[in-house]
């Protein structure tokens, strides 16, 4: 069986180091907010040239806390896409705002030509989702945000290390939100997330929100008071053990992205000229291929045959969010509201791709896939 994703080979290689670093973190006597976390936050910021950054408990929390930090809440509207992971939208709803969905382009990313149509007096922010590992059209999005005085929260959960022109995602908008869910570009062995920002004020605020609203950055700080909330906050943090694992893995991320790009290139070369619609890479940007997503109108048949050949695939995502019971509303019930989103949800599927996947396995997948495509 070729698995869609697996971390067993990675763990086999890193096991002695991981066990040692977990032991070290436990021996330190700190479970939270110790040296491992401090080191990780510093290293992550430096790795991507961010000005400031704060770790949080998950990518979902990162989006929610960024929204709260920017003062977005009840009565406000936030613009994003329906072709994304549920958490992009659940975070918007959790802060009390309403969501406005914009259709996607050929890259399966927010169609920047269509954003303005959805801006109202209530609109406060845009969340461009750098889905599958590719950056959205940030020049255009920044231009719109500036003209309409909107905040930009980049959803970088799938795109750590991706670049828009020469800039890393997460350094362009008001805040960048990352996920360390195990399958992601940098995965913990549990949950984790991060918020990057260029604003010192926002940095200080999100740092308080993630810890019950307490000003805890520096006990010498004149605002520091133990067990005293300066504002309404929550609890969202990464444990020392997870931070130790992330510290160990972070230096390898650039190499892993290189390997992802290499495997994606093999897929693209071998599947070129078939009836599959392959990912379109924006040449000005660096795609990190968190996922290799293809489209075919006979998707279900192909996926079934791949399964019969012991190849696992995934669908990211089979249901547009505006069609889900939890998030649809009166306007969104209209059919063909987001034509591209609705069309591709019926035909996209993702092929196995992770750094430890062997190149000969990718070649095997493409051979079998070519055969299936000829037969349908």
Q: Which stretch binds ligand PLP (CB under 6 A): 19-27, 53-61, 164-172, 228-236?
A: 53-61
Ramachandran region of residue 3, left (φ > 0), alpha (ψ -120 to 50) or beta? Answer: beta
Should residue 60 be labelled a site residue for ligand PLP when binding is judged by CB under 6 A?
Answer: yes
E strands in the chain: 52-56, 77-81, 98-102, 123-126, 151-155, 163-164, 167-168, 175-179, 193-197, 292-295, 348-351
Should residue 59 be labelled a site residue for ligand PLP when binding is judged by CB under 6 A?
Answer: yes
Min. distance of Cβ 55 from ligand PLP in angstroms?
12
Site for ligand PLP in 70-109 (CB under 6 A): 84-85, 87-88
The answer to whether the beta carbons of residues 126 and 79 sit under 8 Å apart is yes
Min. distance of Cβ 199 from ligand PLP in angstroms?
21
Should residue 158 be labelled a site residue for ligand PLP when binding is judged by CB under 6 A?
Answer: yes
Should residue 191 be labelled a site residue for ligand PLP when binding is judged by CB under 6 A?
Answer: yes
Min. distance of Cβ 164 from ligand PLP in angstroms?
16
Of 187 and 233, which CB lies nearer to ligand PLP in the complex structure? Answer: 187
Q: What stretch of H or E contains 38?
A: helix 35-47
Site for ligand PLP in 107-146 (CB under 6 A): 129
What are the C-alpha distances in Å from 277 to residues 70, 274, 350, 361?
A: 39, 8, 12, 21
Site for ligand PLP in 329-368 (CB under 6 A): none
Q: Which stretch binds ligand PLP (CB under 6 A): 17-25, 55-63, 246-254, 363-371?
A: 55-63
Min. distance of Cβ 293 from ligand PLP in angstroms?
12
Of 305 and 322, which CB lies nearer to ligand PLP in the complex structure? Answer: 322
The count of chain residues that interact with ligand PLP, using the rule CB under 6 A, is 15
The answer to whether the beta carbons of residues 144 and 113 sit under 8 Å apart is no
What's the rounded Cα separation, in Å, for the pair 304 and 258? 30
Should residue 41 be labelled a site residue for ligand PLP when binding is judged by CB under 6 A?
Answer: no
Q: Which residues of 59-90 are buried (b: 16+ CB within 10 A; e: fewer)?
A: bbbbbbbbbbbbebeeebbbbbbbbbbebbbb
Site for ligand PLP in 213-252 (CB under 6 A): none
Min. distance of Cβ 317 from ligand PLP in angstroms?
9
Should residue 157 be labelled a site residue for ligand PLP when binding is judged by CB under 6 A?
Answer: yes
Q: Which stretch binds ligand PLP (CB under 6 A): 135-143, 154-162, 265-273, 348-356?
A: 154-162
What's the rounded Cα separation, in Å, for the pair 185 and 158? 7
Q: Which stretch binds ligand PLP (CB under 6 A): 56-64, 94-102, 235-243, 321-329?
A: 56-64
What's the rounded Cα separation, in Å, for the pair 295 and 101? 22
Interacting residues of 23 by C-beta distance below 8 A, sequence separation 6+? none
Closest residue (Cβ) to ligand PLP?
59
What letter would DSSP give residue 57? S
What letter would DSSP give residue 314? B
Q: Which residues of 196-212 are buried (b: 16+ CB within 10 A; e: fewer)?
A: bbbeeebbbbbbbbbbb
Q: Which of 21, 55, 179, 366 binds ligand PLP (CB under 6 A)?
A: 179
Q: Which residues bind ligand PLP (CB under 6 A)?
A: 58-60, 84-85, 87-88, 129, 155, 157-158, 179, 181, 191, 193
């Amino acid at each position: 069986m070729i698995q869609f994703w697996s971390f067993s080979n990675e763990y086999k290689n890193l096991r002695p180091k991981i066990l040692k670093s977990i032991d070290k973190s436990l021996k330190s006597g700190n479970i939270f907010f110790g040296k491992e976390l401090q080191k990780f936050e510093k290293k992550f910021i430096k790795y991507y040239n961010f000005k400031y950054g704060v770790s949080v408990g998950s990518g979902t929390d990162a989006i929610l806390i960024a929204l709260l930090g920017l003062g977005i809440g009840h009565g406000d509207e936030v613009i994003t896409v329906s072709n994304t992971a549920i958490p992009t939208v659940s975070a918007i709803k959790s802060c009390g705002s309403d969501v406005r969905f914009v259709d996607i382009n050929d890259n399966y990313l927010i169609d920047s030509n269509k954003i303005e149509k959805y801006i109202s007096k209530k609109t406060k922010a845009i969340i461009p989702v750098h889905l599958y590992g590719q950056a959205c059209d940030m020049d255009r999005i920044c231009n719109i945000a500036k003209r309409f005085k909107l905040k930009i929260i980049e959803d970088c959960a799938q795109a750590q290390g991706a670049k828009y022109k020469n800039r890393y995602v997460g350094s362009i908008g008001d805040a960048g939100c990352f996920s360390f869910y195990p399958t992601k570009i940098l995965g913990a062995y549990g949950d984790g997330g991060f918020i990057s920002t260029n604003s010192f004020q926002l940095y200080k605020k999100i740092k308080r929100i993630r810890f019950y609203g307490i000003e805890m950055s520096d006990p010498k700080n004149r605002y520091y008071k133990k067990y005293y909330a300066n504002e309404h906050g929550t609890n969202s943090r990464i444990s020392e053990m997870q931070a130790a694992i992330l510290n160990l893995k972070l230096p390898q991320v650039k190499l892993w992205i290189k390997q992802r790009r290499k495997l994606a290139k093999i897929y693209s070369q071998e599947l070129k000229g078939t009836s599959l619609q392959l990912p379109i890479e924006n040449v000005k940007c660096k795609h990190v291929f968190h996922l290799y997503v293809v489209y075919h109108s006979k998707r279900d048949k192909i996926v079934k045959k791949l399964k019969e050949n012991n190849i696992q695939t995934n669908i990211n995502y089979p249901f547009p969010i505006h069609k889900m019971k939890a998030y649809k509303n009166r306007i969104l019930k209209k059919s063909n509201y987001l034509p591209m989103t609705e069309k591709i949800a019926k035909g996209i599927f993702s092929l196995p791709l992770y750094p430890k996947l062997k190149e000969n396995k990718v070649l095997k997948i493409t051979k079998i896939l070519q055969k299936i495509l000829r037969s349908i």
